[in-house]
Chains A and B, each alone.
Chain A
Amino acid sequence: MAVTGVLRPGHAQIRVLNLEEDVKFYRDVFGLVEQGRDAQGRVYFKAWDERDHNSVILRQADTAGIDFFGFKVDSVATLNKLEGDLNAYGVKTERVPAGEMLATGERVRFEVPTGHVIELYAEKKDVGNGLGYSNPAPWNKQSETGFAPTRMDHALLGGGDLDGARDIFINVLGFYLTEEVVAEDGKTQIAVWLSCSNKTHDIAFVRCPENGKLHHVSYWIETWEKVLRAADLMSMNDVPVDIGPTRHGITRGATIYAFDRSGNRFETFSGGYISYPDMHVLTWPIQHLPEGLDYAQRKLHETFLTVFS
């Protein structure tokens, strides 16, 4: 079987400054499906086509940003093995008990050198996408509501020790490097795109002065047409847009960067190519960041390297 070990991004817990305002945004404008609230007051969502119970969790806080980003692994045995591998690599881990998050099994939690909390887990309740597992219809009402991404796709995280974080993902968790932005010295990586699958990226890191920063959480949109529909909905709902709609040179995905009601950047993303671990890394010298970021306009967007939550 091809995809083993770490399967995919599974959840992102995002801090918001006004919970009810962002619940309304993620549910009504974004079109995520509200899945429930826990005793801590956190609100759980999933994208319409995701089958596991939740993928996006909002927590009321007095700062914006990301609490943690979690990946689903293929089994409890893999979870235990990867925890051992992390420890052997010198990464401290802790266990978060099953049920601490709704419908979610035990999690292995650790911090990477960019200051981000990363989690692995093997079990999350399969609630389905509402279409059933026998003779399923291709879509439903929820798939036409709001931006209606099919899944939470990846995150771009910012911090100082990009190299340290990259090494843990590559050397311990089995990710591979697909693309990189490299400084004028031809060596120093400014940003890296890492995959554990056939996607161009499941997680990415960008070097930035402060640790633990969120650049964006990205959501998969099925077509470029639907990315443009999301652009209409953003304007109709006064959503602050950062960049786009355009196409990235990096990963070749069609994109819009915009912000939720608390200033957390998100991306509505579509396309790109299918990636394999044997493929040569694609390199973007820093002077070509403008087209790497915005191929259509070839414009340097200063906010890309400066605005984080």
Chain B
Amino acid sequence: MGVQAEPRTAVMVRITDTGESYKCHTDESLLTGMHRMGKRGIPVGCRGGGCSVCKVQVVAGAYSQIRAMSREYVSEEDLAHGRVLACCVAPRGEIELAVIGKLNKAVTR
């Protein structure tokens, strides 16, 4: 949409569970970057910080929070330990993460 005023910076994100890597811009969330390119690995849920299925453990790399996350799913302790919702944080450099969010169901088929 429209002309970018400045070139955007893209960094590599690696999902340790699957070994999959994808390019993510530093002005978009880790989840948006994955989803936009049709990549898989982190479950995609509400994309608004409300549901927790995209919860990840950042293993290495710096990130910044770009949206509020539900306190129900991300505690102060989680924040201190890099456990965040992938839809609410953007990478500041290369990132390595593990998926901890689950698509839990009451009834499995």
Number of interface residues of B (CB under 8 A): 23
Are A263 and B106 interface neighbours, CB within 8 A?
no
* A50 and B49 alpha carbons, distance in the complex (Å): 30
Among residues of A, the one whose C-beta sits closest to the C-beta of B45 is: A307
Partner of B106, one of A184, A240, A261, A305: A305
Are B45 and A303 interface neighbours, CB within 8 A?
yes
* A260 and B48 alpha carbons, distance in the complex (Å): 7
Residue A292 interfacial (CB < 8 Å): no
Are A17 and B45 interface neighbours, CB within 8 A?
no
- Within 8 Å CB of B92, what residues of A? none
Flag A263-288 by CB within 8 Å of B: 1 or 0 each.
11100000000000000000000110
* A263 and B54 alpha carbons, distance in the complex (Å): 12
- Within 8 Å CB of B107, what residues of A? 183, 188, 190, 207, 286, 305
Are B48 and A308 interface neighbours, CB within 8 A?
no
Chain A: minimal CB distance from B45 (Å): 4
- Within 8 Å CB of A260, what residues of B? 48
* A209 and B52 alpha carbons, distance in the complex (Å): 14
Residue A306 interfacial (CB < 8 Å): yes
Among residues of B, the one whose C-beta sits closest to the C-beta of A304 is: B105
* A305 and B87 alpha carbons, distance in the complex (Å): 20
Partner of A207, one of B43, B104, B106: B106
Residue B50 interfacial (CB < 8 Å): yes
Partner of A259, one of B46, B70, B104, B109: B46
- Within 8 Å CB of B104, what residues of A? 209, 306
Residue A160 interfacial (CB < 8 Å): yes
Are B48 and A63 interface neighbours, CB within 8 A?
no
Most chain-B Cβ atoms within 10 A of its Cβ — which of A183, A263, A303?
Answer: A263
Are A17 and B50 interface neighbours, CB within 8 A?
yes
Partner of B68, one of A17, A183, A184, A209: A17
Residue B71 interfacial (CB < 8 Å): yes
Are A240 and B47 interface neighbours, CB within 8 A?
yes
- Within 8 Å CB of B106, what residues of A? 160, 190, 207-209, 305
Are A263 and B103 interface neighbours, CB within 8 A?
no
Are B49 and A302 interface neighbours, CB within 8 A?
no
Residue A309 interfacial (CB < 8 Å): yes
- Within 8 Å CB of B51, what residues of A? 64, 263, 307-309
Residue A262 interfacial (CB < 8 Å): yes
- Within 8 Å CB of B48, what residues of A? 17, 64, 240, 259-264
Question: Can you name 15 extra interface pairs (CB under 8 A) apart from A62-B70, A62-B71, A259-B46?
Answer: A17-B48, A17-B68, A64-B51, A65-B72, A184-B109, A259-B50, A262-B50, A263-B50, A263-B51, A264-B46, A305-B105, A305-B107, A306-B53, A306-B103, A307-B45
Chain A interface (Cβ within 8 Å of chain B)? 17-18, 62-65, 160, 183-184, 188, 190, 207-209, 240, 242, 259-265, 286-287, 302-303, 305-309
Chain B interface (Cβ within 8 Å of chain A)? 43-51, 53, 67-72, 87, 103-107, 109
Report 10 cross-chain contacts, Cβ distance below 8 Å, ordered by A residue: A17-B48, A17-B49, A63-B72, A183-B107, A184-B109, A207-B107, A209-B106, A240-B47, A242-B46, A265-B46
